[in-house]
Amino acid sequence: MEREAVQPVANREQIVIPGRTAITVRLDETIDTKRNRAGDVVHATLTRPVVVRGETVIPAGTAFTGHVTGADDSGRLTGRAYLSVRMDSFRLKGRKYNVATTTYQQVSSSHKKRNGVLIGGGAGLGTILGAIAGGGKGALIGAGAGAAAGTAGAAATGKKNVTIPAETPIRFTLQSPVHI
């Protein structure tokens, strides 16, 4: 029985994408603090090719997968909502490559300004109406009642959320080299 000669495979040099390389992806779906939690899978698409030594090693349009690392809405009167995500891998020519990227985080504004307007506005309106109805004593009672109503309004309008819409470009940085 005759054996076929095995042809040596051309030894292609392995390409290394250095750590600290920036990658920009576009989210394929909306993520937000109303429905997403830590661990949820996130899909994205590379917007610009990754080039090493003049050669495109990851073309634009490459599918990336990541996950939500943290998500929480704010309290009703205090706190800030936040949403954070990172990329974990990409698929290229039928093969999956794991990556470690920086974390992207988006945080809501604070409640302070809105609460100040609602509570202060309620107190001011209560003072005016109380003064009209009952003089100085009525103004004092009206201010307290107005502040309470403003606080209730601030609590009712409540929680803040963070939303990152689909198609949003996000820039990540590779934390370690990737061997292709």
* φ, ψ at 3 (rounded to 5°): -95, 140
Per DSSP, helices labelled H in 33-80 are none
CB 68 within 8 A of CB 83: yes
- Digit-by-digit pLDDT tens for the chain (180 residues) are 555 555 554 556 789 999 999 999 999 999 999 999 999 999 999 999 999 999 999 999 999 999 999 999 875 455 889 999 999 999 999 999 999 999 999 998 764 454 444 444 444 444 554 455 545 554 455 445 554 444 445 444 457 899 999 999 999 999 999 999
How far is 124 from 130, CA to CA, in rounded Å? 10
How far is 121 from 119, CA to CA, in rounded Å? 5
Structure tokens at 31: 């993520």
Top-tier CATH class for 16-111+160-179: mainly beta
Q: Where are the domains of the chain?
A: 16-111+160-179, 112-157
For the question of whether the overall pTM of this predicted structure is more than 0.85, the answer is no
Overall residue count recorded for the chain in this entry? 180
Q: Exposed, middle or buried by CB within 10 Å (0-12, 13-18, 19+), for 144?
A: middle
